[in-house]
Amino acid sequence: MENQTNKQTPGGIIRNLIINTLSIFTVSYILKGIEVDGFLTALVVAVVMSVLNVTLKPVLIFITIPFTIVTLGLFLMVINVITLYAADALVDGFHIAGFWWAVLFSVMVSLLNSILMGSSR
């Protein structure tokens, strides 16, 4: 049996970053409420989102624990949207037209990432 840990190799991190970039670029092409200027911008968004998911998102989750409990976890979707809006503010060439576009974008990117990461193992 292999020793499975949560540590990722540099190759695995790069693979995940490329898959996330492809997902962001593809979904932004499908959704008219999400604008990404190009593939390089999608890569920057993927990097920024990775950093925000490690830094900002845990803080927001901790602060909003009561809301998350009362809404049975649905408030986590709002936290995802907040991190997307933070990326929107930080990255030129990336724009979200509204809250529901951000929700749909988040769901579609997550689904596409799951599909692509499942097929790359």
Whether residue 80 is contained in a domain is answered as yes
Would you state the torsion angle of the CA atoms of residues 64, 65, 68, 70, taken in this order, to the nearest 10 degrees?
Answer: -110
Write the CA distances from 10 to 7, 17, 109, 117, integer angstroms: 10, 11, 22, 16
Contacts of 116 (CB under 8 A, 6+ apart): 19, 22, 23
Task: Give the pLDDT confidence score for residue 7 in this predicted structure.
Answer: 62
Whether residue 25 is contained in a domain is answered as no
Whether residue 26 is contained in a domain is answered as no
Whether residue 10 is contained in a domain is answered as no
Report which of 78, 33, 85 is spatially closest to residue 60, judged by C-alpha positions: 78
Supply 73's token pair.
């976890």
The structural domain count of the chain equals 1
Average pLDDT value over all residues in the chain: 91
Prediction pTM value: 0.86
The domain in which residue 93 lies consists of 34-119
How many Cβ atoms from other residues are within 10 Å of residue 43's Cβ? 18
Please tell me the number of Cα atoms within 13 Å of 37 on its side-chain side: 9
Condensed to tens digits (0 to 9), the pLDDT of residues 40-65 reads 999 999 999 999 999 999 999 999 99
Distance CA 81, CA 18 (A): 22
Q: Helix, strand, or coil here: 88?
A: helix
Condensed to tens digits (0 to 9), the pLDDT of residues 60-78 reads 999 999 999 999 999 999 9
